[in-house]
Chains A and B, each alone.
Chain A
Protein backbone atom coordinates (compact mmCIF):
# COMPACT_ATOMS: atom_id res chain seq x y z
CA UNK A 1 0.00 0.00 0.00
CA UNK A 2 1.49 3.22 -1.08
CA UNK A 3 1.05 6.16 1.24
CA UNK A 4 0.20 9.50 -0.28
CA UNK A 5 3.45 11.53 -0.41
CA UNK A 6 1.87 14.79 0.75
CA UNK A 7 0.08 13.11 3.63
CA UNK A 8 3.31 11.45 4.61
CA UNK A 9 5.21 14.75 4.72
CA UNK A 10 2.35 16.33 6.67
CA UNK A 11 2.38 13.50 9.18
CA UNK A 12 6.17 13.71 9.38
CA UNK A 13 5.87 17.36 10.41
CA UNK A 14 3.58 16.25 13.23
CA UNK A 15 6.16 13.70 14.32
CA UNK A 16 4.49 10.60 12.92
CA UNK A 17 6.50 8.22 10.79
CA UNK A 18 4.55 6.35 8.16
CA UNK A 19 6.33 3.70 6.17
CA UNK A 20 5.88 0.45 4.35
CA UNK A 21 7.82 -2.76 4.57
CA UNK A 22 9.09 -2.15 1.05
CA UNK A 23 10.39 1.28 1.97
CA UNK A 24 12.12 0.00 5.07
CA UNK A 25 13.66 -2.90 3.18
CA UNK A 26 14.89 -0.69 0.36
CA UNK A 27 16.13 1.93 2.82
CA UNK A 28 18.26 -0.69 4.52
CA UNK A 29 19.46 -2.12 1.26
CA UNK A 30 20.46 1.12 -0.40
CA UNK A 31 22.40 2.35 2.60
CA UNK A 32 24.52 -0.74 2.98
CA UNK A 33 25.68 -1.60 -0.48
CA UNK A 34 28.98 -3.42 -0.23
CA UNK A 35 31.09 -3.15 -3.35
CA UNK A 36 33.47 -5.84 -4.42
CA UNK A 37 37.11 -5.04 -4.08
CA UNK A 38 38.59 -5.37 -7.49
CA UNK A 39 40.00 -2.92 -9.96
CA UNK A 40 40.72 -3.59 -13.59
CA UNK A 41 42.63 -0.57 -14.86
CA UNK A 42 43.23 3.13 -14.33
CA UNK A 43 39.58 3.81 -13.34
CA UNK A 44 40.31 1.75 -10.24
CA UNK A 45 42.61 4.56 -9.04
CA UNK A 46 39.66 6.93 -9.18
CA UNK A 47 37.54 4.32 -7.42
CA UNK A 48 40.14 4.11 -4.64
CA UNK A 49 40.17 7.91 -4.41
CA UNK A 50 36.39 7.85 -4.06
CA UNK A 51 36.62 5.67 -0.99
CA UNK A 52 39.27 7.82 0.67
CA UNK A 53 38.75 10.75 3.00
CA UNK A 54 38.36 13.50 0.41
CA UNK A 55 35.38 12.01 -1.44
CA UNK A 56 34.46 9.53 1.28
CA UNK A 57 32.08 6.98 -0.16
CA UNK A 58 31.40 5.91 3.43
CA UNK A 59 28.90 8.76 3.60
CA UNK A 60 26.63 6.62 1.46
CA UNK A 61 27.24 3.39 3.31
CA UNK A 62 29.46 1.83 0.68
CA UNK A 63 32.88 1.91 2.26
CA UNK A 64 33.06 -1.79 3.01
CA UNK A 65 34.87 -3.18 -0.01
CA UNK A 66 34.67 -6.94 0.27
CA UNK A 67 37.49 -9.10 -1.01
CA UNK A 68 35.09 -11.96 -1.73
CA UNK A 69 32.13 -11.98 -4.13
CA UNK A 70 30.12 -13.94 -1.55
CA UNK A 71 29.79 -10.85 0.63
CA UNK A 72 29.45 -8.17 -2.03
CA UNK A 73 26.32 -6.55 -3.51
CA UNK A 74 27.89 -4.25 -6.03
CA UNK A 75 30.43 -4.85 -8.73
CA UNK A 76 32.19 -1.73 -9.96
CA UNK A 77 33.73 -2.58 -13.31
CA UNK A 78 36.50 -0.04 -13.00
CA UNK A 79 38.45 -0.02 -16.22
CA UNK A 80 39.25 -1.82 -19.42
CA UNK A 81 37.86 -5.32 -19.63
CA UNK A 82 40.27 -7.25 -21.79
CA UNK A 83 39.09 -10.40 -23.46
CA UNK A 84 41.47 -12.30 -21.24
CA UNK A 85 39.84 -10.85 -18.13
CA UNK A 86 36.20 -10.99 -19.25
CA UNK A 87 35.53 -14.64 -18.24
CA UNK A 88 36.89 -13.93 -14.77
CA UNK A 89 34.69 -10.85 -14.40
CA UNK A 90 31.60 -12.79 -15.49
CA UNK A 91 32.48 -15.68 -13.18
CA UNK A 92 32.91 -13.32 -10.24
CA UNK A 93 29.57 -11.73 -11.06
CA UNK A 94 28.00 -15.18 -11.06
CA UNK A 95 29.56 -15.95 -7.70
CA UNK A 96 28.08 -12.88 -6.04
CA UNK A 97 25.05 -13.47 -3.89
CA UNK A 98 21.75 -11.89 -4.91
CA UNK A 99 20.72 -9.09 -4.97
CA UNK A 100 23.62 -7.80 -7.03
CA UNK A 101 24.23 -4.64 -8.98
CA UNK A 102 26.79 -3.53 -11.50
CA UNK A 103 28.26 -0.11 -12.18
CA UNK A 104 30.24 0.09 -15.42
CA UNK A 105 32.80 2.78 -14.74
CA UNK A 106 34.51 4.60 -17.55
CA UNK A 107 34.54 4.53 -21.32
CA UNK A 108 36.32 1.17 -21.53
CA UNK A 109 33.89 -0.68 -19.32
CA UNK A 110 30.84 0.64 -21.13
CA UNK A 111 32.03 0.35 -24.72
CA UNK A 112 35.70 -0.49 -25.03
CA UNK A 113 36.55 3.20 -25.05
CA UNK A 114 39.72 4.19 -26.88
CA UNK A 115 40.52 0.51 -27.38
CA UNK A 116 37.23 -0.28 -29.05
CA UNK A 117 38.89 -1.04 -32.40
CA UNK A 118 41.48 -3.24 -30.76
CA UNK A 119 41.50 -7.01 -31.00
CA UNK A 120 41.80 -7.80 -27.33
CA UNK A 121 39.38 -5.51 -25.55
CA UNK A 122 35.77 -6.33 -24.80
CA UNK A 123 33.46 -3.73 -26.30
CA UNK A 124 31.48 -3.16 -23.15
CA UNK A 125 30.86 -5.47 -20.22
CA UNK A 126 27.09 -5.24 -20.78
CA UNK A 127 27.56 -7.88 -23.47
CA UNK A 128 27.73 -10.48 -20.72
CA UNK A 129 26.21 -9.11 -17.53
CA UNK A 130 23.36 -6.68 -16.87
CA UNK A 131 24.72 -3.25 -16.00
CA UNK A 132 22.67 -0.96 -13.78
CA UNK A 133 24.54 2.30 -14.12
CA UNK A 134 26.96 3.39 -16.84
CA UNK A 135 29.42 6.22 -16.15
CA UNK A 136 31.15 7.81 -19.12
CA UNK A 137 34.55 9.42 -18.73
CA UNK A 138 38.16 8.50 -19.16
CA UNK A 139 38.50 8.09 -16.28
CA UNK A 140 35.37 9.42 -14.59
CA UNK A 141 36.10 11.71 -11.69
CA UNK A 142 35.29 10.46 -8.19
CA UNK A 143 32.28 12.78 -8.19
CA UNK A 144 30.99 10.90 -11.22
CA UNK A 145 31.30 7.60 -9.38
CA UNK A 146 29.45 9.10 -6.42
CA UNK A 147 26.78 10.32 -8.82
CA UNK A 148 26.50 6.82 -10.25
CA UNK A 149 26.28 5.40 -6.79
CA UNK A 150 23.50 7.81 -5.82
CA UNK A 151 21.71 6.88 -9.05
CA UNK A 152 22.00 3.24 -8.06
CA UNK A 153 20.62 4.04 -4.61
CA UNK A 154 17.64 5.72 -6.24
CA UNK A 155 17.18 2.68 -8.43
CA UNK A 156 17.23 0.37 -5.42
CA UNK A 157 14.79 2.67 -3.64
CA UNK A 158 12.33 2.45 -6.53
CA UNK A 159 12.39 -1.33 -6.75
CA UNK A 160 9.09 -2.97 -5.89
CA UNK A 161 9.05 -6.18 -3.95
CA UNK A 162 6.07 -7.67 -5.73
CA UNK A 163 4.54 -7.58 -9.16
CA UNK A 164 5.94 -7.96 -12.63
CA UNK A 165 8.62 -5.31 -12.18
CA UNK A 166 10.18 -6.87 -9.11
CA UNK A 167 13.98 -7.14 -9.08
CA UNK A 168 15.62 -10.36 -10.30
CA UNK A 169 16.59 -11.54 -6.83
CA UNK A 170 12.90 -11.78 -5.88
CA UNK A 171 11.84 -13.25 -9.19
CA UNK A 172 11.92 -17.01 -9.37
CA UNK A 173 12.03 -17.04 -13.15
CA UNK A 174 14.69 -14.37 -13.61
CA UNK A 175 17.98 -15.43 -15.07
CA UNK A 176 20.24 -16.65 -12.32
CA UNK A 177 23.29 -17.81 -14.20
CA UNK A 178 25.14 -15.78 -16.76
CA UNK A 179 27.20 -18.00 -19.06
CA UNK A 180 30.92 -17.53 -18.63
CA UNK A 181 32.53 -17.00 -22.05
CA UNK A 182 35.37 -19.24 -23.14
CA UNK A 183 38.52 -18.34 -25.05
CA UNK A 184 37.83 -19.15 -28.69
CA UNK A 185 40.11 -19.20 -31.68
CA UNK A 186 39.52 -15.56 -32.62
CA UNK A 187 37.16 -14.16 -30.01
CA UNK A 188 35.39 -15.04 -26.83
CA UNK A 189 32.74 -17.70 -27.34
CA UNK A 190 29.94 -16.74 -27.25
CA UNK A 191 30.84 -13.19 -28.21
CA UNK A 192 27.87 -11.88 -26.21
CA UNK A 193 25.01 -13.08 -24.06
CA UNK A 194 21.81 -12.52 -26.07
CA UNK A 195 19.80 -12.73 -22.84
CA UNK A 196 21.27 -9.45 -21.61
CA UNK A 197 22.49 -7.78 -24.76
CA UNK A 198 20.57 -8.06 -28.02
CA UNK A 199 23.03 -7.89 -30.89
CA UNK A 200 22.31 -4.67 -32.77
CA UNK A 201 21.48 -5.07 -36.42
CA UNK A 202 23.90 -3.17 -38.61
CA UNK A 203 22.19 -1.47 -41.51
CA UNK A 204 24.56 -0.95 -44.41
Chain B
Protein backbone atom coordinates (compact mmCIF):
# COMPACT_ATOMS: atom_id res chain seq x y z
CA UNK B 1 0.00 0.00 0.00
CA UNK B 2 1.46 3.35 -1.00
CA UNK B 3 0.81 6.38 1.10
CA UNK B 4 -0.66 9.42 -0.50
CA UNK B 5 2.00 12.13 -1.05
CA UNK B 6 -0.16 14.47 0.99
CA UNK B 7 0.17 12.42 4.18
CA UNK B 8 3.51 13.91 5.12
CA UNK B 9 2.15 17.39 4.38
CA UNK B 10 -0.83 16.75 6.62
CA UNK B 11 1.40 15.51 9.41
CA UNK B 12 3.57 18.61 9.10
CA UNK B 13 0.50 20.83 9.04
CA UNK B 14 -0.88 19.27 12.22
CA UNK B 15 2.53 19.53 13.88
CA UNK B 16 2.81 23.20 12.93
CA UNK B 17 -0.68 23.88 14.25
CA UNK B 18 0.09 22.08 17.51
CA UNK B 19 3.37 23.99 17.85
CA UNK B 20 1.47 27.24 17.82
CA UNK B 21 -1.64 26.23 19.71
CA UNK B 22 -0.12 24.17 22.53
CA UNK B 23 1.68 27.07 24.27
CA UNK B 24 -1.43 29.20 23.92
CA UNK B 25 -3.57 26.44 25.34
CA UNK B 26 -1.16 25.83 28.20
CA UNK B 27 -1.07 29.53 29.01
CA UNK B 28 -4.85 29.66 28.98
CA UNK B 29 -5.05 26.57 31.19
CA UNK B 30 -2.50 28.03 33.57
CA UNK B 31 -4.51 31.23 33.83
CA UNK B 32 -7.68 29.21 34.43
CA UNK B 33 -6.27 26.93 37.09
CA UNK B 34 -3.85 29.08 39.05
CA UNK B 35 -4.54 32.73 38.51
CA UNK B 36 -7.83 34.07 39.82
CA UNK B 37 -9.44 36.65 37.55
CA UNK B 38 -9.73 40.04 39.16
CA UNK B 39 -11.79 42.20 36.90
CA UNK B 40 -12.95 45.62 37.99
CA UNK B 41 -14.48 48.68 36.43
CA UNK B 42 -11.20 50.51 35.93
CA UNK B 43 -9.45 47.50 34.43
CA UNK B 44 -12.26 46.77 32.03
CA UNK B 45 -12.64 50.38 31.00
CA UNK B 46 -11.68 51.51 27.51
CA UNK B 47 -7.97 52.27 27.30
CA UNK B 48 -7.38 55.88 26.44
CA UNK B 49 -3.84 56.69 27.55
CA UNK B 50 -4.90 56.75 31.17
CA UNK B 51 -7.73 59.22 30.72
CA UNK B 52 -11.37 58.38 31.07
CA UNK B 53 -12.92 57.96 27.67
CA UNK B 54 -15.50 60.56 26.77
CA UNK B 55 -18.23 60.42 24.17
CA UNK B 56 -18.57 58.02 21.30
CA UNK B 57 -15.83 56.66 19.09
CA UNK B 58 -18.23 56.59 16.12
CA UNK B 59 -17.49 60.10 14.91
CA UNK B 60 -19.14 61.10 11.63
CA UNK B 61 -17.08 62.52 8.80
CA UNK B 62 -18.59 64.51 5.98
CA UNK B 63 -18.66 62.60 2.66
CA UNK B 64 -17.01 65.64 1.04
CA UNK B 65 -13.74 64.46 2.55
CA UNK B 66 -14.15 61.13 0.83
CA UNK B 67 -14.87 62.66 -2.57
CA UNK B 68 -11.93 65.03 -2.26
CA UNK B 69 -9.68 62.15 -1.30
CA UNK B 70 -10.75 59.95 -4.19
CA UNK B 71 -10.41 62.75 -6.77
CA UNK B 72 -6.99 63.55 -5.41
CA UNK B 73 -6.02 59.89 -5.61
CA UNK B 74 -7.14 59.57 -9.22
CA UNK B 75 -5.10 62.56 -10.38
CA UNK B 76 -2.18 61.47 -8.26
CA UNK B 77 -2.12 58.13 -10.05
CA UNK B 78 -2.59 59.90 -13.35
CA UNK B 79 0.58 61.92 -12.69
CA UNK B 80 2.43 58.66 -12.08
CA UNK B 81 1.34 57.39 -15.50
CA UNK B 82 1.98 60.69 -17.24
CA UNK B 83 5.56 61.03 -16.07
CA UNK B 84 7.00 58.00 -17.96
CA UNK B 85 4.85 59.03 -20.93
CA UNK B 86 6.37 62.50 -20.91
CA UNK B 87 9.88 61.11 -20.54
CA UNK B 88 9.47 58.75 -23.51
CA UNK B 89 7.38 61.21 -25.52
CA UNK B 90 9.81 61.78 -28.43
CA UNK B 91 10.18 58.08 -29.09
CA UNK B 92 6.47 57.30 -29.07
CA UNK B 93 4.30 56.63 -32.05
CA UNK B 94 0.89 57.91 -33.07
CA UNK B 95 -1.06 55.09 -31.36
CA UNK B 96 0.63 55.57 -27.98
CA UNK B 97 -0.14 59.29 -27.97
CA UNK B 98 -3.74 58.66 -28.91
CA UNK B 99 -4.27 56.08 -26.16
CA UNK B 100 -2.69 58.43 -23.60
CA UNK B 101 -4.98 61.22 -24.82
CA UNK B 102 -8.00 58.94 -24.31
CA UNK B 103 -6.77 58.10 -20.82
CA UNK B 104 -6.39 61.78 -19.90
CA UNK B 105 -9.71 62.69 -21.48
CA UNK B 106 -11.49 59.97 -19.48
CA UNK B 107 -10.15 61.47 -16.29
CA UNK B 108 -10.99 65.00 -17.43
CA UNK B 109 -14.51 63.82 -18.05
CA UNK B 110 -14.63 62.55 -14.47
CA UNK B 111 -13.34 65.89 -13.24
CA UNK B 112 -15.96 67.72 -15.30
CA UNK B 113 -18.64 65.49 -13.83
CA UNK B 114 -17.44 66.15 -10.27
CA UNK B 115 -17.28 69.88 -11.01
CA UNK B 116 -20.81 69.89 -12.41
CA UNK B 117 -22.03 67.99 -9.35
CA UNK B 118 -20.57 70.72 -7.16
CA UNK B 119 -18.16 68.41 -5.35
CA UNK B 120 -15.32 70.88 -5.67
CA UNK B 121 -17.22 73.66 -3.93
CA UNK B 122 -16.42 73.47 -0.26
CA UNK B 123 -19.23 74.54 2.02
**What residues make up the interface of A, taking CB atoms closer than 8 Å to B?**
68-70, 87-89, 91-92, 94-95, 97-98, 161, 169-172, 174, 176-177, 180
CB distance from B40 to the nearest CB of A (A): 4
Q: Does B2 contact A (CB under 8 A)?
A: no
The interface residues of chain A lying within 8 Å CB-to-CB of B43 are 94-95, 97, 176-177
Residue total for B at the interface (Cβ-Cβ under 8 A): 15
The interface residues of chain B lying within 8 Å CB-to-CB of A91 are 42, 45, 50-52
- Minimum CB distance partner of B30 in chain A: A25
Do the beta carbons of B34 and A98 come within 8 Å of each other?
no
Secondary structure class of chain B's binding surface, majority of residues: loop
A180-B43 Cα distance, complex, nearest whole Å: 11
Closest 6 CB pairs of A and B: A88-B50, A176-B38, A94-B42, A177-B40, A172-B36, A92-B50
**What residues make up the interface of B, taking CB atoms closer than 8 Å to A?**
34-36, 38-43, 45, 47, 49-52
The interface residues of chain A lying within 8 Å CB-to-CB of B41 are 177
Q: Tell whether A69 pairs with B47 under 8 Å between CB atoms, given A94-B40, A176-B38.
A: yes
A191-B34 Cα distance, complex, nearest whole Å: 35
Interface core residue of B40, B42, B47 (most chain A CB under 10 Å): B42
Do the beta carbons of B40 and A170 come within 8 Å of each other?
no
The interface residues of chain A lying within 8 Å CB-to-CB of B49 are 88
The interface residues of chain B lying within 8 Å CB-to-CB of A87 are 50
A95-B35 Cα distance, complex, nearest whole Å: 17
The interface residues of chain A lying within 8 Å CB-to-CB of B34 are 161, 170
The interface residues of chain B lying within 8 Å CB-to-CB of A70 are 47
A177-B45 Cα distance, complex, nearest whole Å: 12
A95-B45 Cα distance, complex, nearest whole Å: 8
The interface residues of chain A lying within 8 Å CB-to-CB of B42 are 91, 94-95, 177, 180
CB distance from A55 to the nearest CB of B (A): 27
A170-B122 Cα distance, complex, nearest whole Å: 60
- Minimum CB distance partner of A173 in chain B: B36
The interface residues of chain B lying within 8 Å CB-to-CB of A69 are 47
Do the beta carbons of A169 and B35 come within 8 Å of each other?
yes
A102-B35 Cα distance, complex, nearest whole Å: 19
